[in-house]
Each structure stands twice: as structure tokens, then as C-alpha cells.
Chains A and B, each alone.
Chain A
Amino acid sequence: METILVQVFNGLISGAFYALLSLGLAIIFGMLHVVNFMHGALYMLGAFAAYLLGVQLGVSFWWALIIAPLAVGAVGFVLERTLLRWLYNLDVLYNLLLTFGLTLVIQDAMRLRFGVQGVPYSIPAQLRGAVPIGFMFFPTYRLFVLGFSILICLGVWWLIERTRVGMIIRASTENPALTRALGVDVDRWIPLVFAFGVGLAGLAGVLAAPMRNISPLMGSDLIITTFAIVVIGGMGSIFGSVVTGFLVGVISALGAVYYPPAANTLVFVLMAFVLLLRPSGLFGSPEAG
């Protein structure tokens, strides 16, 4: 029983990563209908930004947590303005191909510069060690990641559901033409929303830097699982992507305890089941699917 409790808790932490990543994907898909295959590569750039800031410039982890997502967001902004914007009126396949191609370019550029083996980055001094959480000692840094991700997810939810900016974004998602007719400059918001979504990927990258290997390939492995989560949650559903992110984290942690070979496949089993029963995903509206 204790083991299950610990593993469920531990699963929530890998779930936190999925939640942050799929949240960004869901926002980008929800508003722009862009299937952003670059998301994993931008997550990787976030981790490298933390490394460059920390190891080369001596900037602390806390500043990296602010600067790196902004930098990744800026990269996203530029890519959106220069490349993606030309494809909005075409079939969704075109932006999938473009973002996939950009992923390869970004990955190879990083590989040429840093090699494949990865670069070192350690846990910030204030978060080292472990603290008691009732049933066991748990690494402090992991607890921080969990708390911080939940805060960010709540913050984004608040921003989108409760503020004027959020209202505009939601309106532009539901019906861009009508929103435009009401005098909102929808096009001004598009690159900002894109930058915000990829900024979240950058943030996840910074959080990953101390506990995972920082290498050019780190995002490419994660992206498939993240897409599966977005599909399970319902394409474009912000709430769905966050909840499913945590859910998948817990399921794969439990899977790894009881039958390790299945750990990575469970998410796809879940996807198959959900799509059979609810073709538009757990929290998706039928037309978004």
C-alpha cells in the first residue's frame, strides 16, 4: 500500500512535466490550429538555455526560470512571424511538415555545437536533499517541480478563464471572424499566443535541466508521449491536457512498478481506449476533434 502511495505521488511529478508541455501544445492547437511538432525541440532549447545561463554566465537557476522561457518564447515569436504565419490557410499537414522540419534543423544545429552526450547541470543548492512527506523522504527538488507546475497550470487557467485577455483568446478560438468583426485585432494576438505556448515548453525544459540529461535529443523522445496526452485529453482542451498529463504520469509510474516492459506503452493503450469510447478525447468538444 505504501509503495502504491509513493509511486502515485512520484507519478504526479513526471505528470507535471507532461502537463506543462501538453498545456502549451493545447493552447497553440486550440487557438492557431497548429500541430506544433517543434514543441519537444523548444523544450530542449529551454534546458540548454538554463545550462548556458548557469554554466557559462553564472546566472542562478531562479533567474533562468524567468529568462529561459522568455528567450524560447522569443524564438517562437520569430518563427511564427517568419514562417508559420504563411501556412494558416493551408491544410494542417503543411504546418506539421514545417514544424517537423524545423525540429530536425534545431536538433542538428544543437548536435553540431554540443555533441550528443549532453552537458552537466546540477540541482540548485537551496533545493538539494530530501524532506519527509509523511510516508517517506522525498527529493526536495521534485516537490518543488510539482508545486511550481501546479501553480503555473492554475495561473494559466486563471489567465484564460478569468481575465479579459483570456476572453479575447477564447473568443478568437471559438470564432475568429466574429471576434474580428467586434473590433478585436485577432492577428496581433496570434504570435503572442504562440510565443506563450512555446514559452511553457521552455519552462518545462528549465525544470528538467537538473534532473534529466540535457542533450539535443531529449525533446524528440518526449514529444510522442506528449502528443498522445493532448489527443487523450481532447485536442485543444486546456483543462483536458493538464488533467491527462498528471493521469498519464501516474499510470506509467504504476505500470513501471508492476510490469516494467509495459511502462512506455500504457499511454498508447489508454489512448486507444479513450478514442474508442470518446473519439474527441476525454474533455474535447466534438468539432475540435
Chain B
Amino acid sequence: MKRWGALICALAIVLGLWGPASGQGTVKLMHGKVVLGVINDQSGVYADITGKNGAEAVRMAAEDFVKKYGPNAVGGPIEVISADHQNKPDLGASKAAEFYDRNNANAIIDVPTSSVAIAVANVAGQKKRVLMVVGGATTAVTNANCNKYTFHWAYDTYMLANGTGTEVTKRIGKKWYILYPNYAYGQDMNRTFSTAIQKSGGKVMLSDPTPFPNETEDFSTFMIKARTLRPGGVNVLGAMQAGQDLVNLVKQFNEFGLRQQGINLAIGLLFISDIHSLTPAALEGTLFTTPWEWTLDKESREWADRFMARTKVRPSFTQAGNYSAAWQYLEAVRRAGTDDADKVVAALEGYKFSDFFAHNAEVRKQDHAVIKDAYVAQVKGPSEVKEPWDYVKFVSKIPANEAFQPLSENLCNMAKR
């Protein structure tokens, strides 16, 4: 049986090579193949959020693309390479330069950890090669640090603050106590959340920076402080921590019984893997903003099932975003008929699309933010969970043009032109 399979396979390949090129067949490649480079954290705190499975999602996109358009889909084979940046900006930047120069990478995808994303964006700008930031959250890549070759695909701190800050202030409570990790991302989140809360009629009573990374793993001091804040007290604790720090914080939030004291928890950035490791019981009712969850609709579920068959876990929104970014890059190459970076950028700018990840999406020409529908979601109670990894219900949809930073506030020099 095995031999027959191999024979048929070999025949198929030979015939495939002989047969007429399917697809457009007019794409001209500079180096004979398209190389997609994934740079992310594969060993540190964000390894479960993207990591190796984030690269796997890009590999999956490349395979599906060839399945759909045939082996000559982009005029040559699609190769996926990946590297671990260990959350170090210098390492991320040198890996990016190596990928662009030595491996002829056409595009770099993912790059979580805001500080690294900014560093890699600078490299992309200098080398004039495409970068699609998916895992990185900072708005800097589409504002002060924007450049012609960098796109921001999945989400940003503005979207998170605008969604969660506004929605929680309107629905749950007006008096906030914000805790944020003391580095670029946390400070950015504290600023954007404070603005969003004030705009919607709330008040930030106090905001405290917490050590990053929090070596003592202890947030109890802040939990007690939240309870004893005077005058008037607070009714929302806004936690901007991520990964391990967030898990520690939530555990201690529950331990001190703050919810029973009338203090609600709002989380700036929540990944499905965080809910998985905390269990829904620990987070029941928590509101957060997300660009995508695997239970969003039928299409998303189908994709998530295929992802799970490969990786044994459900995808995070960054992994889904990686797939979407890789796919849309390849589509743009087909539209441009070349992998020349300037022409691909032109094919992406202003492009409107909807895929399973990004609904009603547009690649905004002026700042390269990919705007799309975002969702305010809530963590289910344990009794509502119907199957493993089914942790999230959707509360409301924020339409694409309201979810992201308006161009009038944008600091990108391309937007001002």
C-alpha cells in the first residue's frame, strides 16, 4: 500500500511539474521562491501565545495557499522560516536583518513583545522589506515609529483600551484602580485606558506600576490597597499585566475575595491560553476586548479544528492573525504579479477584505493599521462551558471604523501627508 502511495505521489509531482502552471502564472520572483520569516518568542513568557505554533500557523497558510491556487500560486515555492527573539529587541533586530539579507525573506510576520516589534519595524524600514506585526500590541508601529513597509495586523493597545475601558465604565463601574507592569507596553496601556475611561464618564482613582517582571510573584499589597482606597472606594480593578504576571494577579484577586467586596476585574489583554491555565472559574464574568476567538463563527471553528489537528491546542488570536497575515501577503503578491516589496505594499494599501480572522477589514493606506471589527467578550462561568477551550462569549461588536484609533489622532508621518 505504502509503495503505491509513494508511486502515485511521485507521478502527481512529475505531472504537476509538466502540466500547465495553474493560477495566474505571471508572478515574477526575484529569487525564485517566496520566503516568509516568523520571528517571535519561542521560549519565554509569550511562547504559548504565539511561539512555535505561531510559525506553524504560517506554514499552514502556505500549504493551504498552494492547495487552493496550485503549486505555481506565487510563481515558485513558498518557504517558511522562523526564529526565537527571546523578547530581546537587539536579538529581534539582528534576526530580522539576517532573514532579509541572507535568507531573502520577503516578509517577516508576528513579532510579539512591543519593544521588539518597534526594533524590527526600524529594520524593515531601512531594508525596505515587508513586516507584518501580529503579536506586538503597541500603537507605536502605526504612529511615531510607522514606515512604508510595516503593517499592524491583529490588534493594538488603542483598540483594547477603547473596547474594554469604554464598555466596562458604561456597564460595570466608573471608579477604576489600574495596575500596570512598569515597561513600554504597560505604560502605554495605562495611558490609553485612562483616556478611554475618562471619555466615557469614568474616573481613574489611582494607577500603580507593578514591577516587570514581578520577581516576587506577589500582588497582595495592591489587592489590600484596592480594598482600602478612600474616598469612595473603587469598583473596577483594571489589570494590564500579561502572561504569568496576570495569572498570579488573578489568583490573588480571587484569594482576597475582591469580587465579593464589589470590586470587578477588567483585564486589558487576555489570551485564551491565560483562561486555560487559570480555569474559567477564576475569571468568570471578566470583560475584555479581542479581535478574534476560535468560537467566533463557523468559519473560525473550522479553521481552529484544522489547527488543533496539527498542534493539539486551540489557537490564540495571534496565531490566527499570523495565518491571516501570511495569506493576505501571498494574495497581494499574486495581485502585484511580483514579490517586489514596493509593488506588494501598493497592492496591500487600501485593500479591503474579509477572511475568517479579520471581518470587514481594510488595510488603512495612511498608517498601515489593519482596521477590522473587534469584539467585547466575557469569560463564561464554569456551567456554561460546553467543551474544552470553550471559554468565551461575545458581548458586543465594535465596528471596524470605531474600534481603532481615528486618523485625526494619528502621529504617523504618512498619515499627515
Contacts and interface: CB of A to CB of B under 8 A. Distances in A.
Contacts of A10: 220-221, 224
A177 B171 CA distance: 73
Contact of B247 (A2, A14, A118, A264): A118
A261 B209 contact: yes
A211 interface: yes
24 contacts: A3-B224, A6-B228, A7-B221, A11-B221, A13-B220, A116-B43, A117-B274, A118-B244, A120-B277, A120-B278, A130-B256, A130-B257, A137-B257, A211-B251, A211-B255, A212-B217, A212-B248, A213-B251, A213-B277, A215-B244, A221-B217, A253-B220, A261-B209, A261-B211
A104 B27 CA distance: 47
Given A257-B225, A260-B210, A117 B215 contact: no
Nearest to B248: A213
Interface string B252-277: 10011100000000000000011011
Contacts of A141: 255
Nearest to A140: B255
B224 A212 contact: no
Contact of B216 (A137, A211, A215, A222): A222
Nearest to B46: A116
B211 A263 contact: yes
Contacts, number: 116
A225 interface: yes
Contacts of B244: 116-118, 213, 215, 217-218
A215 B247 CA distance: 10
Contacts of A120: 277-279, 282
B401 interface: no
Interface in A83-121: 111, 115-120
Nearest to A261: B209
Interface of A: 2-3, 6-7, 10-11, 13-14, 111, 115-120, 122-123, 129-130, 137, 139, 141-142, 208, 210-213, 215, 217-218, 221-222, 224-225, 252-253, 256-257, 260-261, 263-264
A129 B256 CA distance: 8
A225 B216 contact: yes
B375 to A, nearest CB: 22
Interface string B105-136: 00000000000000000000000000000000
A213 B247 contact: yes
Contacts of B279: 120, 122
B216 A14 contact: yes
Given A218-B217, A222-B216, A264 B211 contact: yes
A12 B257 CA distance: 20
A4 to B, nearest CB: 11
B217 A213 contact: yes
Interface string B204-229: 00001111011111101110110010
Given A212-B251, A225-B215, A225-B216, A256 B221 contact: yes
Interface of B: 43-45, 47-48, 182, 208-211, 213-218, 220-222, 224-225, 228, 243-244, 247-248, 251-252, 255-257, 273-274, 276-279, 281-282
Contacts of A210: 251
B255 A139 contact: yes
Given A14-B220, A221-B215, 14 more contacts: A13-B220, A14-B216, A116-B45, A119-B277, A122-B279, A129-B257, A213-B244, A217-B244, A218-B244, A221-B214, A253-B218, A253-B220, A261-B209, A263-B210
A139 B256 contact: yes
Contacts of A116: 43-45, 47-48, 243-244
Contact of A3 (B43, B222, B228, B273): B228
Contacts of B225: 3, 257
Contacts of B216: 14, 221-222, 225, 252, 263-264
B40 to A, nearest CB: 13
B218, B225, B247: which has the most chain A beta carbons within 10 Å?
B218
A6 to B, nearest CB: 6
Contact of B43 (A14, A111, A221, A253): A111
Nearest to B228: A3
Contacts of A2: 228
Contacts of A264: 211, 214-216
Nearest to B219: A256
Contacts of A257: 221, 225
A118 B210 CA distance: 20
A264 B48 CA distance: 26
Contacts of B213: 221
Complex A-B, nearest 5 residue pairs according to Cβ-Cβ distance, in ascending order: A213-B247, A256-B221, A264-B211, A117-B48, A221-B215
B352 to A, nearest CB: 35
Contacts of B256: 130, 139
Contacts of A122: 279, 281
Nearest to B252: A211
Contacts of B218: 14, 252-253
Contacts of A130: 256-257
